[in-house]
Copies of this chain bind each other. A is one copy, B any other.
């Protein structure tokens, strides 16, 4: 952000970048071809198949079947298929929907992945161990004309944010902490809004969201100067009555990741914020000694910052993760929050997101 010297400085660079037209999400990036065969490998337990579970829960029409190896302890309740059966059922991409200890690609997996490429599947993975770093997979993919998608790595040269208002509307969930249910909230709102006949698109900003939807921005891996621009790119001009539901990341109160959250608040130019919270946390995730802020503090911090980019922004609802509470306790807590903040407060998992969707419709 600091001019270097004379004619060639960061601002000239920025201004050039600002003049680059902001494209449409997916442009310059090979979208992951759907539908998927969900690879569970030798999953040690059900939890390790969480990515595959997310795809099956939120995009069931993307999930043709599951591929399980000997000793697999996860089961999505989908049809077990061989590679050939899945191809015949129309699957285009084998998605590694499982994480093993260490996130590496085991030799046992390798055999299946190579066969999948030879059978005509693309591969998609969110593992730390990148597919593109495996010479044998790269060689076979090239020989077979297949694509390898490592969703941890940006595949687009994002512009620097230009702050120009886009047509259409945008909603961003912001959290008191990381991992309090922001992605789940946006996906549940997307489902509810589509059921109501509203125009909505979930915009993924993290690895799981990208594998669920087949596209998005892996924001935590974007270069600092281009974070806000990547979110402008992800949420381009759209119909006036269309809502982008942007997957949130981090928290303005989480010192490790707050810069990423800030880029969403400014790059997303949200018209609506949803406050997300998990009541039982003892401290900020991964930060012993850091207390969670109140929902009021989150509202009073996030809204003025959001209004820098969009003066009309409103806080329209609250999403609480009450997984750790019994039904009565949860409903009492939600009623209390609703009374305190004067906004609809729901747990989308218990109650669905219809009231949050209605709050957007009422804007």
> A residues touching B (Cβ–Cβ < 8 Å)?
1-11, 13-15, 18, 43-45, 47-51, 97-103, 126-128, 160-163, 178-179, 183, 206-209, 219-225, 227-229, 247, 249-250, 252-263, 265-267, 269, 285-287, 289-290, 293, 301, 304-305, 308-309
Contact among B11, B48, B97 with A285 in the assembled complex (CB-CB below 8 Å): B11
- Given contacts A1-B178, A220-B224, A262-B262, list 13 more A-B pairs with CB under 8 A: A2-B207, A3-B50, A4-B126, A4-B207, A6-B49, A8-B103, A11-B285, A219-B224, A220-B223, A228-B255, A228-B259, A293-B308, A301-B305
In the complex where A1-B178, A301-B305 touch, is A259 in contact with B224 (Cβ < 8 A)?
Answer: yes
* A225 near B260: Cβ-Cβ < 8 Å: yes
- Nearest Cβ on chain B to A360's Cβ, whole angstroms: 23
- Nearest Cβ on chain B to A128's Cβ, whole angstroms: 7
* A51 near B224: Cβ-Cβ < 8 Å: no
* B225 near A223: Cβ-Cβ < 8 Å: no
Q: Most B CB atoms within 10 A — which of A1, A162, A222, A250?
A: A1
Chain B residues with Cβ under 8 A from A286's Cβ?
A: 11, 14-15, 18, 162
In the complex where A221-B223, A224-B227 touch, is A8 in contact with B127 (Cβ < 8 A)?
Answer: yes
Q: How far is the CA of A19 from the CA of B150 in the complex (A)?
A: 26
* B209 near A7: Cβ-Cβ < 8 Å: no
Q: Which residue of B lies closest to A210 (CB)?
A: B2
> How many copies of this protein are present in the complex?
2
Contact among B10, B50, B219 with A5 in the assembled complex (CB-CB below 8 Å): B50
* A10 near B220: Cβ-Cβ < 8 Å: yes
Q: How far is the CA of A98 from the CA of B99 in the complex (A)?
A: 49
* B3 near A179: Cβ-Cβ < 8 Å: yes
In the complex where A161-B255, A262-B259 touch, is A6 in contact with B99 (Cβ < 8 A)?
Answer: yes
Q: How far is the CA of A209 from the CA of B161 in the complex (A)?
A: 24
